[in-house]
A and B are shown apart, each in its own frame.
Chain A
Amino acid sequence: MFKKLLIANRGEIACRVIKTARKMGIETVAIYSDADAQALHVQMADEAVHIGPPPANQSYIVIDKMMEAITSSGAQAVHPGYGFLSENSKFAEALAEVGVAFVGPPVGAIEKMGDKITSKKIAKEAGVSTVPGYMGLIADADEAVKISNEVGYPVMLKASAGGGGKGMRIAWNDEEAREGFQSSKNEAANSFGDDRIFIEKFVTQPRHIEIQVLCDAHGNGIYLGERECSIQRRNQKVVEEAPSPFLDEATRKAMGEQAVALAKAVGYASAGTVEFIVDGSKNFYFLEMNTRLQVEHPVTELITGVDLVEQMIRVAAGEPLSITQDDVTLTGWAIENRLYAEDPYRGFLPSIGRLTRYRPPMEVAAGPLLDTGKWQGEAPSGETAVRNDTGVYEGGEISMYYDPMIAKLCTWGPDRATAIEAMRVALDSFEVEGIGHNLPFLSAVMDHPIFIKGDMTTAFIAEEYPDGFEGVTLPGAELVRVAAACAAMHRVAEIRRARVSGRMDNHERKVGEDWNVTLQDRSFDVTVDADQSGSTVRFSDGATLRVSGAWTPGDQLAVMQVEDAPLVLKVGKVSGGFRIRTRGADMVVHVRTPRQAELARMMPIKTPPDTSKLLLCPMPGLVVTLHVEPGEEVQVGQALCTIEAMKMENILRAERKGIVSKVNAAAGDSLAVDEVILEFE
């Protein structure tokens, strides 16, 4: 076995690999750019080598720098992680030349699977199901109809030069195929000056399901079940799970065997992933093969008990696989949610900055990984598992140079519903402040009926959130639980306030039991009866809820129990109540005495000012240049103002035509979010 392993990557995956290497007794070498000098992977590794300035093309993907780091550290093997150089055959070749092991497949396999057309050809030859279609030139509409019939409806007619949906038609019968061919051809000619059309099977209700394969250098290969990755946003996976709620045993076996056949056909030796698109009738078609460790590999580990990184290292060291296909069983259910530094309320704009607070939920070990002794890191054991693969820490920086993924939060449970529920609680317990992030969005997905049923397709996010994400409105039953918890918490806070020193003896403030709670435009009158172990909250309609939990004033996380179910709230300070975040909802909860509530109802509701005629600063930053003057007419897309944030210049452009009426900022001003820069007439 290797003595020293260099991890040619950063972030969570570097940390992930270090954990397994450490467990195997292998020394680890981290590499880091200037931006990562304080990064977690650098702190975790036994040694670290600096490899250059922050941009990846001057550091993490520069092969020469990698080779220098290998030489200087004396590493015998390199794990590339994912991204960066992980599927770069030149890097694998360079390593081979100096006799350093590449923890990944052979160069040939990388090259063959790296090319889309070649990989499809090889797949077809290996007996893997590919999307039926005709790539040749189609002469006329009649031929188009003929080919469509051969492929089988529905079909998609696509312009060779196409893109952005132009020159694309879906046909369900001969008539549509005939019409579609002509209109696609015309459109393609007009748009791209190239009227070549090809025909492909149109996959309805497509799902993205991939097979994890594992092969050694001795001709052995197995598959470790599938991962369902249909929930994607612009081809970026967001939620993954294993197994897929859609596959049956026969389909799984067929997909698995074809995936292994493909891997063997290219002499694969490492962990790899064969991606398929699966239609509503469980027909599956090969998409591509990823010749590396996938981001979402933990869900496979959680249901199989196999440490994929360990297996990759062993294979790279020449060991034969110690597991056979018969040893592979899928136990329970695992879900992964990717936590991105992307603000869901601002169109998923990447957010960068300092993590003023970063407290992931406590990890809990359970399931196959615990049973096989392959759980990495320290965690108490429990009924359901929580695993968080992360590369950041509180006080760390999310930089603009790299992928905005902060963490991969996984849960495992004996069945899907339990795993989902564990995920909901884990998401609610995950504290991230200082940057925008997608936690509320993930919570929303976990509560979405389509996801709960397991009926999602790759169009899920585009269809269910067509106008972006606007936060969650809690359903009534959940709202009542939050109201009960807040009433009990507020009472505790008020009793504490009434214990301040300097009180008039015998004339203390008596904190009452009757409260009014308002949240999400609803109002509840409640009575709080507190005792040693918690509070019983009675609602005016007679319903009661028992609330317990160890919340004390100032705690930013309230881990409560309402009746028999957990309720985890992120608690912020608001005058006369709390800002509560839970289950993807973000709301102000006011708790008042009945009289306070009566008077508060008289307060005018202030409509937020109309900002459509304003240019607001989208991020805290410094005004570099103002490109317009009062009275100037601006056109759509015209640069209005340049803001420097985190050393990056952002040009704010006009969204519509208008005349500038007032300029409120000047070059050199430092602005906060939503500060008004310009006003329009």
Chain B
Amino acid sequence: MQTNEICWSCKGPLNEGFFCPTCGTLRRPFALSPFKFFALPFAFNLNLNTLEERYLDLQKQFHPDKFVTKTSQEQMNALSWGGFLNDSYNKLKKPVERACLLLAEQGIHDVLEEKPTPDMMMKQFELREQLEESEQLDDLLIEVQDDIANLESGLVESFDSSNFEKAKKQTLELQFLSKFTRDIKRKMRQLKTN
């Protein structure tokens, strides 16, 4: 976090806060990890209630209504922070994106562009065939949801033990299974309406 910068309004020194400690104006957005933004530890395990609470709290701080009497620069800053807030919240909430953020913190980018291993491909192909051929999808859905739960607890472990290679693989698998779950549910709806 940049602490050696000066306030755009009063030119006073800045600390780690969003507001200038001297004149109290809202700072311009600066590069910030969503985890730090939400004052969360760099871990995959996340208490959704805490996330929700912090989201509402931050939303209040940057709410446009609080800046109606302020300069247009400060109003713009509030809008930018609000955008960054929503974006960060949506990413942290979703397990796959949360994992990608944590990997990016380690300098591992574009995880979802990686090629799956042959074993993963084989399993994905078999799952796709099952979905295509079967009309009784309840069991398949339960199986996939179990796999997702296992992957998520596996990710907690991998990140806690700094095993980022394993976390990468698990993230890829989770990405596939999340999409696959939507496809199962779509077919279930179609079967119901026919």
Chain B binds chain A: no
Which residues of A are interface residues toward B (Cβ below 8 A)? none
